[in-house]
Structure 1
Amino acid sequence: MNRVYGAIAAFAFLALPAVAHAADNRCGWIQNPTPGNWWLDDAEDTWTIRTQGSDDEPEGMDLIPDISERDYVRTNGSYGYACACMKVDTDGDGRITKIYSFKQLKLAQCRNDKALKFPG
């Protein structure tokens, strides 16, 4: 009888869905230097969010508000950069594949983070 219960328990364990990985919390310079181009520079890497002309827009892109309405630096007309934290999924090629949340921060927070390279 124990073998039957053991087999059922083993099958049930294998049938469980894989535990989802935790999204990354990435903070740094969010840049939108030209139309359709977005990336995030954090202490670890430059993460491509979107490139002009590409159909590879991550799910959740609509969570990024108009960053120019808050603490923001204009570098090219209405385009520029800000400081933000994002909860995201990334792939092995330096791309953000899904955005779960976005929070724009004061520019000073990124400027004071010695691990971040200043944009530009």
Structure 2
Amino acid sequence: MIRVMKRSLLMLAIISFISVIALPVKATETRCGWLQNPTPKNWYLKDRDGTWTISQQGKSPPKGMDTISISDGKEVVLTNGNHGYNCACLNVVVDSSRMRIITIQGGEALPLSTCREDPNLPKE
């Protein structure tokens, strides 16, 4: 009886270990495109794969949200008071099934011409 219990516990431990190492690892990606802040607390990144939601009014922002701002860029297009867009690359972790950015680990503003001349990006 004790031998059977030990074997069962060992099998349970092995299965638990395998399931933990099989979990997908969230890797950091660099995504470049139009960083948009059209209205307060609403942030998006439009890149070659589509529109990624960064933050929406009334919802919790992703970790690292405080590291980005359109006003940090030298070239900003204002479309609504202090809100608008610029061209940027962000180092992020994403949830690709929901097109959401879940962590921002940094990034940099780029000249508007970089996005304007990229044939893979939508026109702004």
Instruction: Note closer, same or farther for the CA distance 1:21–1:97 as it changes in structure 2 (3 Å cut).
Output: closer
The residue type equivalent to 2:42 in the other structure is: N
1:80 aligns to 2:78 (yes or no) = no
User: TM (normalized to structure 1)?
Assistant: 0.79
Structure 1 consecutive aligned stretches of length 4 or more whose deviation exceeds 6 Å: none
What is the DSSP-based 3-state SS (H/G/I as helix, E as strand, rest coil) of the residue aligned with 1:22?
A: coil
- State how many pairs are aligned: 104
Matches of 2:33 and 2:102, distance apart in 1: 17
When normalised by structure 2's length, the TM-score is: 0.76
Verify: 1:42 aligned to 2:51, yes or no.
Answer: no
Task: Name the counterpart of 1:108.
Answer: 113
Structure 2: distance between partners of 1:26 and 1:101: 11
The residue type equivalent to 2:77 in the other structure is V
Task: Give the CA deviation at 1:88.
Answer: 0.6
Higher helix share: 2
Q: Aligned partner of 2:53: which letter?
A: T
2:71 aligns with: 68
What runs of 5+ residues in structure 2 fail to find an aligned partner?
1-13
Distance 1:26 1:77, change over 3 A: same
Shift of 1:21: 4.1
Q: Secondary structure at the match of 1:33?
A: strand
How far apart are the structure 1 equivalents of 2:88 and 2:49? 15
Task: Please tell me the root mean square deviation across aligned C-alpha atoms, in Å.
Answer: 1.7
The structure having more radius of gyration, on CA atoms, is: 2
CA distance in 2, matches of 1:68, 1:23: 24
Give the deviation of 1:118 after TM superposition.
Answer: 1.6
Q: Give the share of equivalent positions with the same residue, in percent.
A: 45
Matched, 1:33 2:38: yes
